[in-house]
Structure 1
Amino acid sequence: MPAHHTRMNIIAAVASCSVALVLVLLKLWAFGQTGALSIAASLADSGMDLVVSLAAFAAIFYAARPPDKDHTFGHNKAEDLAALGQSLFILAAAGVIAWGSVHRLISPEPHALAAEGLGMAVMLVSIVLTLGLVLFQRRVARLTGNRVVAADALHYIGDLLPNIGAVVSLWVSSRYGIGSIDSIVALAAALFMANGALRIGKGAWNALMDKEAAPEVVAEIEMLAGSWPGIESYHDLRTRSSGSRVFVNLHVEIDGRLTLTEAHDIGAGLRHAILRKYPQADVIIHKDPIRHPAKEAADHDVA
């Protein structure tokens, strides 16, 4: 993985931990001032965010370690394991939120909200901090392809929606005395979180099982190999993903009359072209010489 990608992933993880810590301290103060259970629930959620973010940071830091004697292909699988764990955590959290929402909706006694003004102020600050973090994390995830950062961004999006819903709910409760909208918003957020968790989890599972790289990546590599000057054909293209890296193994057929240096330069040119397109890739190209009896006979006659 390029060094600047590693730095961006680590910075995103540090930012996640920092924001989670600030939100925990802020909501802890708000809960102490108001005693509102809605703030307490949000505080518990931010506390879990901090734990998950710390685990994500550890996974990213470990995955950034270079290959060693025992892990010759690197440590990128740590990213997939962490992303899978995060997706399971998010899915469980979505289930708890959905269950609580449904329970409140069907409960014969209405759920009253309290300290709406202070609650709205705390939630608005949380929204601003969380939104900034999510935008940064999604940018990093797009650039580096890191599943841990993507899963963490999804986790905070899951927090962002309930926070927005909490502001709306608190306002509606203070203005009209309607508390059920809180449960409806929370249920919608839970469904959104569950859908995203399944998507992230599927990607991490496929990577752990060495599934082939994305179809568009394979198609681009095939196009480059099929049109590269000096390469007459190719075969046995194999790919797999591990964390944010893509491993490529390819056999190309080159005129056997070329010198070793000429054949090497052709293969190296293709390899660099693939790396320019996918900087996070690890590319191995095997060069197979092919014979052209007619051309060899013509060269012999000329000699």
Structure 2
Amino acid sequence: MQADSQIRLNLSAGLASVGVALVLVLLKLWALMQTGALSIAASMADSAMDLLISGAGLWAIIYAARPADDDHTFGHSSVEDLVSLGQALFVMASALSIGWLAIRRLVSDTPPDLEAEGAGIAVMLVAVVLTAGLVLWQRRVARRTGNKVVAADMLHYVGDLLPTIGAILALVLSKTMGLSKVDSVIALIAAGLMLHGARGIGANAWHALMDRAADPEIVAGIETIAADWPGVRGYHDLQTRTAGSKLFVNLHIELDGEQTLREAHDIGAALKRGIVAAYPQAEVIIHKDVWHG
């Protein structure tokens, strides 16, 4: 697939994400005004964060697609990590706010009654359908392009389905059984899930910004490719780091000093292509040393 086609697909997923998030915020705001349900407030806050995250993700996709230049010789993919770190902090703050409100309602002797549960249920069902449709499209794009930003956004929206379904459950129980406190319990669970997700997003972004090595499985895979490559007598000083969806690899290989420069170049170039074939997002630099075995 051509790079331009991949960029268009990634942009389509980003635009769809922003559009769905905006529609969900407006629908849930109306439902919250009708019902006063805290679980809907939690779901709306989550959708508002989705809108922010999706907008930042769309901008990151556009910016990261820019080619390397004199000021950014390794490209612009680190913007994805910066955006992710900011998103994680925002998610944590919102989750703590929702959790605090949920606890206050749980310990209150007179929690507010929910109203217009039917309208709230209808809105949340629409939210489930829209979110599920977005997830299916993002999954298709991620599989075709391998874009990790789209894949991560897809997983985020998969996680959003749980608090949305929880809000529906809270409204159903309130309408049929009068169990209004279930609303606060579900909101508290949703806040915990948001904190857990934000921790993972923030940790991954922080590690990438600190030039942490790639996943051990990826490092082991590169080592296996280098060790088994025809003409390579040995290798050393393998270094990896990630930046956004890109993987940067530096590797020294040991070659027979008696062969021609062209032969040595061809071995190194072929190995580079082999690593990129296994890890399409990789930027690989091969250094050639003389084998002293």
Work out whether residues 249 and 283 of structure 2, in 8 Å CA contact, stay in contact via their aligned partners in 1. Answer: yes
State TM-score, norm by structure 2.
0.89
- Which range moves more in the overlay, 194-203 or 217-226? 194-203
In 2 relative to 1, CA 29–176 (structure 1 residues): closer, same or farther, beyond 3 Å? closer
1:264 & 1:194 partners in 2: Cα distance?
50
Match of 1:226 in 2: 227
Match of 1:133 in 2: 134
SS at 1:268 equivalent:
helix
1:141 & 1:104 partners in 2: Cα distance?
41
Work out whether residues 151 and 200 of structure 1, in 8 Å CA contact, stay in contact via their aligned partners in 2. Answer: no
CA offsets per residue over residues 44-71 of structure 1, 9 Å max, x none?
Answer: 5534432332222112211111101111
Report 1:171-250 matches (<5 A).
Answer: 171-250=172-251
Work out whether residues 233 and 256 of structure 2, in 8 Å CA contact, stay in contact via their aligned partners in 1. Answer: yes
1:71 & 1:184 partners in 2: Cα distance?
48
SS at 2:213 equivalent:
coil
Question: How far apart are 1:162 and its partner, in Å?
Answer: 2.2
1:49 & 1:216 partners in 2: Cα distance?
31
Work out whether residues 151 and 197 of structure 1, in 8 Å CA contact, stay in contact via their aligned partners in 2. Answer: no
Matched, 1:278 2:286: no
Match of 1:84 in 2: 85
Question: How far apart are 1:12 and its partner, in Å?
Answer: 2.0
SS at 2:233 equivalent:
strand
Work out whether residues 34 and 120 of structure 2, in 8 Å CA contact, stay in contact via their aligned partners in 1. Answer: no
**RMSD, aligned CA:** 2.4
1:99 & 1:28 partners in 2: Cα distance?
20
1:135 & 1:187 partners in 2: Cα distance?
28
Match of 1:61 in 2: 62
1:128 & 1:87 partners in 2: Cα distance?
26
Match of 1:35 in 2: 34
SS at 1:35 equivalent:
helix
Amino acid corresponding to residue 54 of structure 1 in structure 2: G
Percentage of matched positions with identical amino acids: 57
Work out whether residues 10 and 147 of structure 2, in 8 Å CA contact, stay in contact via their aligned partners in 1. Answer: no
CA offsets per residue over residues 216-259 of structure 1, 9 Å max, x none?
Answer: 01001111111111110111111100000000011111101111
In 2 relative to 1, CA 135–98 (structure 1 residues): closer, same or farther, beyond 3 Å? farther
- Which range moves more in the overlay, 129-138 or 271-280? 129-138
Work out whether residues 158 and 189 of structure 1, in 8 Å CA contact, stay in contact via their aligned partners in 2. Answer: no
1:190 & 1:28 partners in 2: Cα distance?
18
In 2 relative to 1, CA 243–180 (structure 1 residues): closer, same or farther, beyond 3 Å? same
SS at 1:273 equivalent:
helix
State TM-score, norm by structure 1.
0.87
In 2 relative to 1, CA 203–138 (structure 1 residues): closer, same or farther, beyond 3 Å? farther
1:248 & 1:201 partners in 2: Cα distance?
23
Question: How far apart are 1:260 and its partner, in Å?
Answer: 1.1
Q: Which of the pair has more CA radius of gyration? A: 1
Question: How far apart are 1:134 and its partner, in Å?
Answer: 3.3
1:133 & 1:97 partners in 2: Cα distance?
25
In 2 relative to 1, CA 58–275 (structure 1 residues): closer, same or farther, beyond 3 Å? same
Unaligned 5+ runs, structure 2: none
Question: How far apart are 1:158 and its partner, in Å?
Answer: 5.0
